[in-house]
Amino acid sequence: MRLEMMTAPAAAAMIARSPGIIWPMGSTEQHGPHGLIGTDHLCAEAIARRFGAARGVLVAPTLAVGQSHFQLGFPGSLAIRPSTLMAIVADYLAAMEATGIRRLYILNGHGGNIAPVRSAVAEFHAARSFNRIDPASRIVVRLRSWWELPRTDALRKRLYGAAEGYHATPSEIAITQAAYPEAIGEFDAPPPPASHDMSDHAGDNYEEAASFRRAFPDGTVISHSALARRADGEALLAAAVEDLAEDYARFIAG
Ligand code: NI
């Protein structure tokens, strides 16, 4: 149930019945020679919208640009600063709380967003602690990246193993193939890239854009994007919707 496609009375009735909402977020950044620039937000959005439509859950408008400054060496990438993302999250929390939302489930599709979002939520709580505010009703936040949902994580590792890598991953490319077949097809897979040390790249801990481009000239980070298949994307979407149903139900109940 997309919030922006509802009337205010209809939204009010839904919030009265269940005061929760899912907010998909991601990035708009290069995804190598095979992936769509919108891959990160398109994946989170596709999962959230499928889940919301199937289960009658509110879905907020997608935040499509994220903390991606390290991708600015590649044309087509956009970015907001960590402090900008924190400010956006702070405003969304306050606005949602003011209009009756009590459970905000952020479904993330971009590793670079994780640290600023966590910090923004911590700032939101800290302001209350320092001001000794103990509101009877307040918004509670959960942040999950789709690839860490358990069935989805197991499936992407089973499908692609070490070729999954960290950026322009075949699993995220496959989800876009399934969700947007008119925009992205399948590829002839070339041999996999040479193996790398896998340990340094989780969470998008990169420095500035010039060094990122030097380190990863084709824009991927150990990911063999061309292995992506539409059927895999459909299976990943189904697994993610199932995972999300369980995790969201626990979150609302908790
Ligand atoms: Ni991505």
Looking at domain 3-245, its CATH architecture is: 3-Layer(aba) Sandwich (3.40)
Question: pLDDT band at residue 135, thresholds of 50, 70 and 90?
Answer: confident
Please report how many Cα atoms fall inside a 13 Å half-sphere around the Cα of residue 136, on the Cβ side.
0
Give residue 66 CA to ligand 1 midpoint distance, Å: 11
Residues 27, 82: Cα–Cα separation, whole Å: 13
Q: Which helix (H) or strand (E) holds 105?
A: strand 103-108
37 C-alpha vs ligand 1 centroid, how far in Å? 9
Work out the mean pLDDT of the chain and round it to a whole number: 93
- Give the whole-angstrom CA distance, residue 67 versus residue 160: 26
Q: Which among 25, 15, 28 is positioned nearest to 45, based on CA atoms?
A: 25
Q: Where are the domains of the chain?
A: 3-245
Tens digit of pLDDT for each residue in 27-55? Answer: 999 999 999 999 999 999 999 999 999 99
The CA 90 to ligand 1 mean position distance, Å, reads 24
- CB neighbours (10 Å) of residue 183? 11
Q: How far is the CA of 40 from the centre of ligand 1 (A)?
A: 4
- Give the global pTM: 0.94
* Residue/partner pairs of 209-217 with CB below 8 Å, 24 or more apart: 209/69, 209/70, 209/71, 209/72, 209/73, 210/73, 212/70, 212/71, 212/73, 213/73, 213/74, 216/167
- Calculate how far, in angstroms, residue 132's C-alpha sits from the geometric centre of ligand 1: 40
Query: Residue 69 C-alpha to ligand 1 middle, in angstroms?
Result: 14
Distance 145 CA to ligand 1 centre (A): 11
Max avg pLDDT among 72-76, 124-128, 129-133: 72-76
